Amino acid sequence: MASDPSTARCPGCALRLGLAAPHCAACLGTPWAFARTIAAFDYAPPADTLIRQLKTQLRLSAAPVLARLLAQAVWRQGATPPDMLLIPVPSSRASLRRRGMNPAAEIARGLAAQLALPLTCRALGRRRDTARQTALGRQARLRGAAGVFYGRQDLSGRHVGLVDDVMTTGSTAQAAARALLAAGAASVTVLVAARTPQVL
């Protein structure tokens, strides 16, 4: 895999740290709603192929492989709440129509089996489709993602593992984590298969 386990990741957002710093600059400046982020690998060759197989080529067989890599990252980094409830980031309606499935939910299903953790795909709702995220800058993405998600069930006292395929700026995870906390979640840990190596 592309990951070099000797290089530390930022505990807040899983960005790879080039220097011996405890956090990346972005996390020091902007505290996230989620407590930490665990990523299996960088969104870079060759491991990013697995993500493209799942998201672009719609090869569902890539999901359990990604789930296994993510489970290994969770085991390696340890200290996740024992009864963590896994919740995938819901797809936009347009993505669901295009793909016929939610890649995050497919990974979450495999992860729940690997880690023997409960899973629900109904706890988070998604209000409306946002403009294509890649066309926007970091601040615009943070604004655009805010308020997109809402809680659909009481999560009082639950520690949540928020599952997604890729984390880019963190704006989607931030908006989803805010909604989970508003629904009563005690904490949110972001679990992503891939992390883009730099904040765009």
Instruction: Region of 82 please: left (phi>0), alpha (psi -120 to 50) or beta.
Output: alpha
Segment lying near Zn ion (by CB under 5 A), choices 5-13, 49-57, 77-85, 123-131: 5-13
What is the smallest separation between the CB atom of 80 and Zn ion, expressed in angstroms? 18
The verdict on 85 binding Zn ion (CB under 5 A) reads no
* E strand or H helix that includes residue 174: helix 171-182
Structure tokens at 193: 């298969």
Q: Is the peptide bond before 46 cis (omega within 30 degrees of 0)?
A: yes
For residues 173 and 190, what is the distance between their CA atoms, to the nearest angstrom? 7
Asked if 12 touches Zn ion (CB under 5 A), the answer is yes
Choices 7-15, 48-56, 92-100, 101-109 (CB under 5 A): range interacting with Zn ion: 7-15
The amino acid sitting at 82 is P
Residue 24 or 69: which CB sits closer to Zn ion?
A: 24
Helix (H, G, I), strand (E, B) or coil at 40: strand
Contact segment (CB under 5 A) with Zn ion among 17-25, 70-78, 98-106, 192-200 equals 17-25
What type of residue is 155?
Answer: L
Q: Is 15 in the site for Zn ion (CB under 5 A)?
A: yes
Rounded CA-CA distance 178/172 in Å is: 10
Please identify which residue in 3, 9, 10, 123 interacts with Zn ion, judged by CB under 5 A.
10
Task: Name which of 67 and 194 has its Cβ closer to Zn ion.
Answer: 194
Between CA 56 and CA 37 the distance in angstroms is: 24
Binding string to Zn ion for residues 20 to 49, with x set by CB under 5 A, is what? ----x--x----------------------
Minimum Å gap between C-beta 27 and Zn ion is: 3
Q: Which stretch binds Zn ion (CB under 5 A): 14-22, 47-55, 129-137, 172-180?
A: 14-22
The nearest distance, CB 44 to Zn ion, in angstroms, is 17
Element (DSSP H or E) covering residue 98: helix 93-99
d(CA 2, CA 197): 11
| Interface contacts to Zn ion, rule CB under 5 A | 10, 12-13, 15, 24, 27
